[in-house]
Amino acid sequence: MKTVTIYTMEYCPYCENAKRLLASKSIPYKEIKVSLDDEPEWDRLEKLTGYKTMPQIFIDEHFVGGYRELTAIEQSGELDKLLSSS
């Protein structure tokens, strides 16, 4: 199975929902918490993904998006395919 990495921040309901969705499917993930004042990390993520919001979810090196995108690919059945494809 591929590695899921989720960048989160404190007090983020979308982050909690994304983690809950992954946990409900027994998908292990690595959580990296980004503090509000960690400007270099925020800048790095924004350059990498184009997103200024959290969570930011990756499957291996592939950027999936945030909670809404994760939910959409789960509902379409694509999440399991992304996790199992080589």
- Strand ranges (DSSP E) for 1-86? 4-8, 30-33, 56-59, 62-65
For helices 67-75 and 13-24, give the axis angle rounded to 10 degrees: 30
Q: Which CATH superfamily is domain 4-84 in?
A: Glutaredoxin (3.40.30.10)
- pLDDT at residue 4 tops 80: yes
Question: Per-residue pLDDT tens for 30-64?
Answer: 999 999 999 999 999 999 999 999 999 999 999 99
pLDDT of residue 74: 96
Residue 1 has pLDDT above 90, yes or no: no
